[in-house]
Structure 1
Amino acid sequence: MRKNIVAGNWKMNKTLPQAIELINEIKNNKPNNNAEIILATPFPFLAKAVELVAGSDIKIAAQNMHQAEGGAFTGEVSATMLTSIGVNTVILGHSERRAYFHENDALLANKVDTALAHDMTVIFCFGEELKDRQNDNHFNVVEYQLRDGLFHISKENWKNIVLAYEPVWAIGTGETASPEQAQEMHLFVRNLVDKVYGSEIAENVSILYGGSVKPDNAKEIFSKPDVDGGLIGGAALNANDFFGIISGI
């Protein structure tokens, strides 16, 4: 049975005092429903975040990690470092990592392998840009991202995988993805997983939507049969907005 998940990706926002305040507010006042809550804070806050959510059902995730076990990689963070402080979930392949830091599918495949070797849960992001959607190439782009970055893993590893569809064309472009468009892509992805790995894995993997989910559209988006929750950006930085989205599950 797949999980309903709402993951908040804080990106490069908040100071430590602000982070502590927000985590405590979420922990103490979150809606009581069946949604699993994940908070992906900036690296400097991760250890404190793990400490703050101890004893609750909230999980803490890293926004990225390096593919190497260690070594001369100034400024990078390894899987061993993350797991040593109790962080066992990581976002990989986010559209901003792909666009601004030129992370390609081959690199992401290596990162996935490293995370899985440490028994981490991977939130694997994928999605097409506006030009891909306009050229009716969106399904092909998503399929290649999944096949080249993720579909090398074994069936056994899928228990540690969460998928997150990000329509890059619907984030900060003035364009809007409809709930129907989200469902269309999520169904395509689930069918693709079915073809490669079988129906049991396809039916049990959670697929999150990451295209500007807000409190006023969350319920409609989450009501779609193949949308299992959201990867939330800006709205995750405000407790009331985040609660409104969680309540939409």
Structure 2
Amino acid sequence: EECLAMAAQAIRDADNRQWMPGVCWTEYARGILDLGLGRYEAMLDRVDRAMTGPTRHAFLWRYSWPDYIEAAVRVGDPQRARDRLRRYTEWAESTGRPAPLAILHRARALLAPDNATGPLYERALALHAEGRQPFDEARTRLVYGEWLRRTRRRAEARTQLQAAMEAFDRIGAVPWSDRAAAELRVTGLSLPDHARAGDPLDVLTPQELQVVRLAVTGASNREIGAQLFLSPRTVASHLYKAFPKLGVASRAELARLTLGDR
């Protein structure tokens, strides 16, 4: 709420002063808010609109391209990110600086086949060590840990996820810390300090709950969409938002939930 209120004020001030960078930074901040809260489609739509509007030539949009890539991967549409990766690659490599190069390797890892993913994340972490970026390094460790867990390397995943969670805690990035904690719980680690009180289903929106209930039955995204009058992509987006809230990372892991009469 505070972010949105400050963004609205910044846009009013920017309009009064005809200061275009203020509008750009505000849109970028709202995009990062969407990304942190798992609203991936909203983040993609926001950047798409900005890139066709009056702020499209602003230099700062290059900072959003890695975030756009991650959001596209999350909604299951990596092809949407290819052009952003190409453009970010050109800029990052032209700088020769470790900070943007570290983020570039993370973006490449998100789009890479499994046999190339690990080395890309390791290179990203090595570059982070040369140019300190606590938030971005923690984000790299988070997605690296998620990938390690999906490839059944749970001990290695815990190392990365624990480091990510602790870094997010230090800088007060609560949604990101919660996401790392959710992934750690999926690896079997107990985290009482990050446990959610009450019924975990209470954290879902009504639509997310409907989608999860149908997904537990084994229905496909297309089948769920047909029942709820949603597109398969929207169903996928709801699941990606619901997974970290429930402490799971895949449809298979939803099977362990007890939904009762909800």
Greater gyration radius: 2
Bigger strand share: 1
Bigger helix share: 2
Could you tell me the TM-score, scaled by structure 2's length? 0.31
Could you tell me the TM-score, scaled by structure 1's length? 0.32
